Amino acid sequence: MPESAVKRLLVHTSHYSLSSFLTMVAGLVSFPLLTRIFSVGDYGIMNLIGSTLTVAVALGKVGVQHSIVRYQSEISAGKGRYTLRELASTTMFGMIGTALTAMAILMVLVHFVPARWFADSRLRLLFSVATLLIFVQVVESNFLNFLRAEQATTTLLKYQVAKRYLGLGLILTTVFFISQSLGGFYTASVVNESLALIALALLVYVKRGWPLPRLSEFRRPLYRELLGFGIPMMIGYEMAGLILAVGDRYVIEGLIGETPLGLYSAAYNLCQYVQSVFIASVAQAIMPLYMQMWDAKGVEETQAFIARSMRTYVLLAAPLIAGLAAVGPELLPSLASDKYATGAGILPWVISGMVIEGANAMVGAGLFIHRKTRVIMSIVLSCAIANIGLNFILVPRIGIMGSAIATLVSYAASALLLGAAGRRLLVVKLPWMTILRAGVSAFVMFLAVRNILPARRLLTVCVRSIAGAPVYAALVYLIDPDAREAARKPIERLRRLVRGERAA
């Protein structure tokens, strides 16, 4: 069993999680402030622009960021036809070009579409300012994915936290003292992202000693390979994943209006905070590890590592769903104000979908390792189209709850299909008994704490969280052998510590 690899996964995951947690804290500071400064309609507009920019940035990357992780591992293992310098130069100049192209396309669309398409007259100007973020974020992703491929998680942690908190200070200063408008918000965001990119470039080229990219080292054959791997990933995994994540916003806005969109967006964003800390961190950490393990050690160790990681993921993810279901009705209005309280009902559905989606990097590992990006594309794109179809069916009937249900169904279908296709290339055993045992333990925890100290907002959240954690831990320890194995070493260390203190 690759114990050392699992430990590295936990270490790297902890770095990503700490970064995401500290970023989330900054978000929890800004979240209640922004939801109070701006109207529910304005908050819906912010999410509409944010969703559009997310899609545009994904198009600007053309999936090359995924290629960086795969090709860096292969070249470092001595299996590639190109050098790391050529890879770095090719990805940098290629992404600069595609970022500028994506910016130009969005600017043209914004300025030439009929005015009646914009429900709010401010949208044209706001999009014009926010479009500058596309270039910055695409180029930034080039640096970040090389750091991720090198498993430089400490550097990533420092950069992302510093950027988030300095940006928070700049944005809040702007909206409180300069311009309490969406225009001020987006101007401050552009300034913050640009300064962060300059600092990141200085960090990697000066402090870490990366060689500067040279146009003479741009390799067209390599770039074609990167695009061959990346474009299907962009269309099928990233773009389709974004449609799964944000396509429902457009349906809600079009069918039932900006106010339900604001309610849905606030609840969904709260789930994304939880996802970024506890779920996405695993996917960020595990893919470079199993790519490296595959190139260096082969099939059996890679299979064992992924199987062990899956069981650990399930044990940690199950209480997240039950915990958010228990505290969500108090947490959402505490952070966003009482006007968003009715959105809390969608929290369990959305976070369940996010937890399932977080396992894709593991269940579909064979597809990622063997570069079967067209298979990934067809699966995720099909599920994205199904998600939009379900939204059109359910939203007119049951409102934003319909979007939440569609999210869960689509993510579950995507994970099952990726797992089925990936098994043909690398067998990843799904830990069904661990899922059952963790699910039962989490559900009992939910029943035990859901009625504790109602209507006390953040105090209720704290009390239910503190009460629920030992309930779940005790139950899962009693019924799940993987949980007992995971707890064995910490318990032994605690016993040795206690014996040592007694001896002293």
CA–CA separation, 427 vs 363, rounded Å? 9
Q: In the numeric block, which tokens belong to residue 139?
A: 């180029």
Q: Which of 22-31, 47-56, 250-259 has the highest mean pLDDT?
A: 250-259
User: pLDDT grade, residue 100 (50/70/90)?
Assistant: very high
Distance (Å, whole) CA 392 – CA 403: 9
Which helix (DSSP H) or strand (DSSP E) does residue 419 occupy?
helix 400-422
Whether residue 94 is predicted with pLDDT greater than 90 in this model: the reply is yes
Q: Residue 459 corresponds to which amino acid?
A: L
pTM: 0.70
DSSP, collapsed to helix, strand or coil, labels residue 431 as coil
Tally Cβ neighbours within 10 Å of residue 322.
27
pLDDT (0 to 100) of residue 437: 92
* Whole-number Å distance between alpha carbons of 345 and 231: 37
CA distance 440 to 435: 9
Residue with structure tokens 């067809």? 378
CA separation for the pair 464, 466 (Å, rounded): 6
pLDDT at 421: 92
- How far apart are the C-alpha atoms of 407 and 194, rounded to whole Å? 33
Pure H helices in 113-131: 123-130
Note whether 80 and 246 are within 8 A (CB).
Answer: no
CA 36 to chain centre: 26
Give the C-alpha separation, 137 to 162, whole Å.
16
Q: What is the pLDDT of residues 258-292, one digit of tens each?
A: 788 888 888 888 888 788 777 777 777 777 778 87
Q: Which residue has the tokens 């359910």?
A: 394
